[in-house]
Amino acid sequence: MIYNCIMLAAALALGTACGKNQPSKTDNTATEASRNASASNMVTLTAEQIKTIGITLDKVGMRELSSVVKANGVISVLNQHKALITSPFGGTVKSIQVHSGASVKAGDVIATISNPIYLTVQEEYLTIKAQSNAGNTDAIAAIGNPQYANLSEQYRTLQPQIEMAELELKRQRELNAGNAGSAKNLQQAEANCATLTAKRNTLQSQIAIFGKNAEEVLKTKRAALENKLRLMGISPQNLTPETMQSTLAVRSPITGKVGEISAKIGAYLTENNAIAEVVDLNSLHLDLNIYEPDLPKFRIGQIIQFTLINNPAQTYSAKIHTIGAMLDPVTKTIEIHAHIEGNKTGLIEGMNATATAHAGNAKVMAVPNAAIVNEGGQDYIFVKQTGTDIETVFEKTPVRTGASEAGFTEIALLTFIPENALIATSQAFFILGKMTNNGEE
């Protein structure tokens, strides 16, 4: 095989050299055409070169092959299977208990944060709890409405005034009965006593209203504080003055692997600042982008194989879970979502992958393997554009390859070519070499 390649390359070089050593009008015409073609994806070969190399021409035909579809994709994790670890309360980071890449379970401590305000919340709860248990109506009502204390104070201050007014009224009546007092003083004492009594009755009504709602208000406020304590990770039932704490534990809500840790010890975090990210790797899935013509070859429940771009030797399996219903207007692809099954070792969110799906036998557009070349990761065939007895011009045309079987490979044209167009069905590698050499001449 190596010997044949060397001979063919030598023949190609010989054909080119002979053309240079024996200049003629015909050769000059061919050289000028070659210069014009080399500016694009065109390459020109003389009839002698085609014969020497052994290039054959034929139309693109249809063959029945075991259909294999290739698609590019990325390893992803749904948002419901990853979490940003935050605290519902602001505080200073006191410690970080994990490192990036560590495995954690739901409920494991990720970090601890501290803030004196945590003590205030606990103290308020214990105060309400004690007053509720003791049945302290005044204190309970005061908690329910801050105005209650002011009204109670007014009532306490008013009571001695009423007692004094009632004594004065009694004295004036006695004086009046003995004809020793004046009617004016008696009327003034009666009015003063009536005013103070009316004010006392108003205060009593207001205080009664607050007192009536006090138990309900206390119950609501106590429940709110209990929920707040639970968010802080503190048990209300077990809270005592001796167990009050100014440091809270921040726990992971899910099981998974710790990703990036964004917090630092000593930093102050608000409720919106993330400490770290945890990803559930058991929920890894594969998102594929499928071209519209290939869509009928995929179905829900189908098992597909895929490899990573950075590790093509390792094969993984995935089962198709959903097929998108919208065509991307830019890429002209449809997204397919597949759940990864079995071994997930080495898989990380964001990795690029290449998947293959077997769709059974199908009649597809196919060319001989020798008609395809790869340059820069893109597959090409060479399509005849013009031809004479002297020379033939080929255009390097991009294609997407599929299944290979019995010396033929499935192709999909990425650009239009005429229905009856001829392509180079052999020695495409040497045509590509000639195109490269044109740039050097």
The residues near 256 (Cβ < 8 Å, ≥ 6 apart) are: 81, 82, 83, 103, 104, 278, 279, 280, 281, 282
pLDDT digits (tens, 9 = 90+) for 272-289: 788 999 988 888 899 998
Over residues 290-299, the mean pLDDT reads 84
How far from the centroid of its chain's Cα atoms is residue 92's Cα? 28
The band of 359, judged by pLDDT with boundaries at 50, 70 and 90, is low
C-beta neighbour count of 430 within 10 angstroms: 23
Mean pLDDT taken over the chain: 82
Residue 436 tokens read as: 């490269």
Taking the whole predicted model, whether its pTM rises above 0.85 is answered as: no
Return the minimum-mean-pLDDT range out of 15-19, 202-206, 421-425.
15-19
The band of 132, judged by pLDDT with boundaries at 50, 70 and 90, is confident
The beta strand positions in 213-283, using DSSP E, are 247-251, 256-261, 268-269, 276-279
pLDDT at 8: 44
The band of 310, judged by pLDDT with boundaries at 50, 70 and 90, is confident
Out of 167-171, 219-223, 265-269, 346-350, the most confident range is 265-269
Residue type present at position 412: A
Percent of the chain with pLDDT over 90: 33
Over residues 175-201, the mean pLDDT reads 86
pLDDT at 203: 83
The band of 210, judged by pLDDT with boundaries at 50, 70 and 90, is low
Over residues 338-347, the mean pLDDT reads 86
pLDDT at 435: 85
Q: Looking at the predicted structure, is the pLDDT value of residue 300 above 50? A: yes
Instruction: For residue 255, give the 3-state DSSP assignment.
Output: coil
pLDDT at 5: 43
Residue type present at position 142: A
pLDDT at 373: 94
